[in-house]
Amino acid sequence: MYDSGKVIIGLVIFFGFFTFAFWYNMGKAAPAPKPKLDTPVIKKMVKKQCIESTHFMRTTHMQLLNHLRDQALRQGNRWYTNKRGEKVWISLQNTCLKCHSNKKEFCDKCHNYVGVDPYCWDCHFDPNRSKL
Amino acid sequence: MSMDRRKFLKIAGLSALVGLGGSEAFELLQPGAVDASEGHEGEGEANEGHEGPYAGDKIRWGIAIDIIKLGENPAMAKKIITTCHYEHNVPDWGNPKDAVKWIWEDDYEHSFPDSYNDLMAEKVEGMPFLLLCNHCDRPPCVRVCPTKATFRRPDGVVAMDYHRCIGCRFCMAACPYGSRSFNWLDPRIALKREGRKLNPRFPTRMRGVVEKCNLCVERLDAGKLPACVEAAPDIMIFGNLVDADSPVRKVLRERVSMRRKIQLGSKPSVFYLV
């Protein structure tokens, strides 16, 4: 191979630059967010629990919200019976956000971390703010 | 393969015959199949075996608007409109192009263009009419919606599912009453500019969806009356059109009433008492 010294040095420099982003950010992974649950309504609750178990809500809240939205809006059935047998009025602004009144600390924190932008907030808004 | 002229003419003639008789052949094999695919649903099918206009339904919500009382107290129109627009966070853009209408005021000529004449009594001509979605029994908007974003609930309310609306505006073209409005701009811009207090219990809409009066389904489902009816119970009379003892049916029995553009066959359920 002609000019092997130059070629190899060039390749090393190229790969150095190419993988720069990985070197630079090594060991600096953003810590997983901890959504805050210290709203006045939740603090007052004797038994701190959501409409379903924490694990279920953490993994499946998107499907549940879609399902409840269709049930309430399209079938006109606004009562959800959860696995504990309790009845819950289906409403994002009037039920979910009543307890989770800290949208920024609760919803946005994780959504921003995983880079999702759910279109809920195009129409629904935090009812605890009287102005947009 | 070679073909002489005689054979070619034979085949051509036969093909033409089959071509001309094509639709007849369909008719022979599957009578009515062509008609059905063109959407000729049987006229009386919906009401088959029923007696009376709403027989078979349990609930059919309807509103009667007392135009005489509204004429005596025209300030009430403003109150009703404000109540509705607060309840549903309806923005006021201040120009007719971007206007979003849920319930609005117009004169006789534009409310009942088919029964207008040049020699109307002046009193009638100047009367304010409150217009809103008629929640038709056979809603043309529902028929044209390609995503089923707008649909008729079993209780007769023509509802909107904004999550599914793609903003094609077919429904606006189909609605003969102008009851549908398109959000050309983000409604929150106007709401912010107005600096108005928002109703925290109801969402806003977003840019690019069509919206309209929902007869306060969120209140009906909670067992409450529509906001306009609550604001002016003696002008807006609400009730179940199936139930002969409901307040609407009572008032419709006693008074002369009219509905908008009934010759179109959409069967509105908003009545005007005159």
DSSP-assigned letter for residue B74: T
Tokens of A19: 């993988």
Contact B174, B143 (CB under 8 A): yes
Yes or no, beta carbons of B205 and A130 under 8 Å apart: no
Nearest to B113 by CA among B268, B234, B262, B266: B262
Mind telling me how many Å the CA of B161 is from chain A's nearest CA? 7
Residue-level pLDDT at A131: 64
Domain boundaries, chain A: 36-123
**Ranges of chain A with pLDDT below 50:** none
Instruction: Give the integer Cα–Cα distance in Å for B151 and B59.
Output: 16
Residue-level pLDDT at B74: 87
Residue-level pLDDT at B45: 43
- Which DSSP string do the residues of chain B spell out, in sequence order? ----HHHHHHHHHHHHHHHHTHHHHHHHHSTTHHHHHTT---TTGGGTT--SSSTT-S--EEEEEEHHHHHH-THHHHHHHHHHHHHTT----SSTTT---SEEEE-HHHHSGGG--TT--HHHHT--EEEE----SS-HHHHH-SS--EEE-TTS-EEE-TTT-----HHHHH-TT---EE-SS-HHHHHHHHTPPP-TTS----TT-EE---TTHHHHTTT---HHHHH-TTTEEEEESS-TTSHHHHHHHHS-EE-TTGGGS----EEEE-
Residue-level pLDDT at B211: 96
Task: With beta carbons under 8 A apart, name residues in chain B contacting A92.
Answer: 203
Segment-wise mean pLDDT, segments of 10 residues, chain B, 274 residues:
89 90 65 51 43 73 93 91 94 93 92 84 84 94 95 93 95 95 94 89 94 94 94 94 92 93 93 92
Q: Which positions in chain B have a beta carbon within 8 angstroms of at least one beta carbon in chain A?
A: 151, 153-155, 159, 161-163, 188, 191-192, 195, 197-198, 200-206, 217-218, 221-222
- Find the residue in B nearest to A132 (Cα): B192
Residue B156 CB contacts under 8 Å (≥ 6 apart), including other chains:
B57, B59, B60, B61, B62, B135, B137, B241, B269
Task: With beta carbons under 8 A apart, name residues in chain A contacting B59.
Answer: none
pTM: 0.78
Contact B251, B64 (CB under 8 A): yes
DSSP-assigned letter for residue A129: -
Yes or no, beta carbons of B198 and A93 under 8 Å apart: no
CA dihedral A62, A64, A70, A72 (to 10 degrees): -130
Pairing of strands B150-152, B158-160: antiparallel
Pairing of strands B236-240, B61-66: antiparallel
Candidates A125, A128, A129, partner chain B, best to mutate (most B CBs within 10 A): A125
Q: List B150's β-bridge partners, or say none.
A: B160
**B61-90+103-180+213-273: what fold?**
Alpha-Beta Plaits (3.30.70)
Helices B22-29 and B5-20: angle between axes, nearest 10 degrees: 60
Yes or no, beta carbons of B151 and A74 under 8 Å apart: yes
What is the enclosing helix (H) or strand (E) of B230?
A: helix B227-231
Query: Between B195, B201, B217, which is nearest A93 by CB?
Result: B201
Task: With beta carbons under 8 A apart, name residues in chain B contacting A130.
Answer: 197-198, 200
Radius of gyration of chain B (CA): 25
Contact B246, B240 (CB under 8 A): yes
